[in-house]
Structures are given as C-alpha cells and as structure tokens.
Amino acid sequence: MNNRPDLDRIQRRIGYQFHDPELLMLALTHRSHSNQNNERLEFLGDSLVNMIIAEYLYHHFERAREGQLSRLRARMVKGVTLAEIGREFELGQYLRLGSGEMKSGGFRRDSILADAVESIIGAIYLDSGFETCRERVLEWFDKRLQRLDIQDTQKDPKTRLQEYLQSRQFPLPLYEVISVDGEAHAQTFHVSCALPSLDRKTTGAGSSRRIAEQQAARAALKQLGVETN
C-alpha cells in the first residue's frame, strides 16, 4: 500500500525478477491511485492466464470433453482463485491504492487482488515473453492444477443447492456473514446459509466470503440428504 513498495521483496515472492521494474510498479497501481494504472495490463493478463491454463488442461485431460475443459478452466481462473494466489504473495501490502480504497480495505478485496495478479501476468509477458510468463503462471497454479480431476467439472455447491430448491419451488437460500476473523492479509469468513421454508441453517468458513458460502451450501446439501460426501 506504499507509494513506492519494496519491489525486491514482491519479486522474490512471485519468483520473477523484472528487467523493467516500472512494469511491475504499473501492475501494482490501482485506478484509484492514478490515471496511469494496471487496467490495460489486467486485460492482457486475463487473456494470457486463460490461454495458459486452457493449454495445460488440453494436454493433461486428453479424454475430457469441451464442456468439462471449460468448467475446469473456469474453476482455475475465477476471481476467487486469483485472489487466493494474491494473498499467498501477500500482495495487498504492495498495492498502490487511492486513499478511499485504502480506508475501505481495498487491499484485501478479492476483485482488486485478482486484478493485480492478472496485471502482473501481463507485465511478465511484456517483460520476458510468453514462455517465461507460462512458466511463472503454471508454477503459481501448480498445487491447484495437481488437485484437479474430471469430478471437478460438476456444478458448484451454491448452484446445486439453488437448483434443488427451485425444482421443488422452495425459496432461495439466504446467505449472511456471521463474522470475519484474522489479520487483514489472512482473514477467515464465517457465513450462514438459511433455508427458511425448510427451517434449516448451516454454516461454512473460508478465506473469502464466496468460499465460505460454498462451504455452507455444501453443508446444506448434506443436511438435506442430497449429497453424502
């Protein structure tokens, strides 16, 4: 959140040394801070990460159908996943934000962290080309990619719960944040999922509100007997 963050430290965290450090500085600059910001790099990085992950999935899931590959890619490149990577780098403390965003906690907001990760991907591509960029992205995503299998192509718990309720003409679930624990860069969200028409309520926890909501929805599906694991 400094006007001039410690670039050496963030470069060690991401595992890449920039030839042109000003590209990294631009990638860390939110639009609230300056007209010269990371929006164009974010646009570039978004396309790159989609391409890199798509290529990986194409070669590693040879029997997967197009729809399955699309869902696997969506799981990998969604904002929540990118924000998680940003938190692993402790990226929030390096972002250049306007005073309003700083006061409102923008440095821990999923959307801002995800955009910054995409911007850094775009910056690495401009600094060293596609091969180096692909190497860095696959390294960042490695543990998540290793956990993937075709079963991950099923719909997420919130969607499955919603469809279950709608098919029975029940009202949609109500999600509410119960509490937020931990330091700014490593928070845990606790969320409830209420099913008023069925008089049921479950809870979930995660590193973002979305993840906590998914966990609460999964618990609701189990409580309803729709899923057993």
**Quick check: is 199 catalytic?**
no
Domain ranges for the chain: 7-150, 157-223
Binning pLDDT at 50, 70 and 90, where does residue 98 land? confident
pLDDT of residue 148: 86
Q: Is the distance from CB of 69 to CB of 57 less than 8 angstroms?
A: yes
What CATH topology corresponds to 157-223?
A: Double Stranded RNA Binding Domain (3.30.160)
Residues annotated within the binding site for Mg(2+) are 42, 115, 118
Would the pLDDT of 2 be above 60? no
pLDDT at 59 over 90: yes
Give yes or no: 46 in active site: yes
The pLDDT of residue 152 is: 59
Fold topology of 7-150 = Ribonuclease iii, N-terminal Endonuclease Domain; Chain A (1.10.1520)
**Gap between the Cα atoms of 160 and 144, Å rounded:** 22
Summarize the annotated binding site as residue ranges.
42, 115, 118
DSSP 144-198: HHHT--GGGGSPPHHHHHHHHHHHTTPPPPEEEEEEEES-TTS-EEEEEEEEGGG
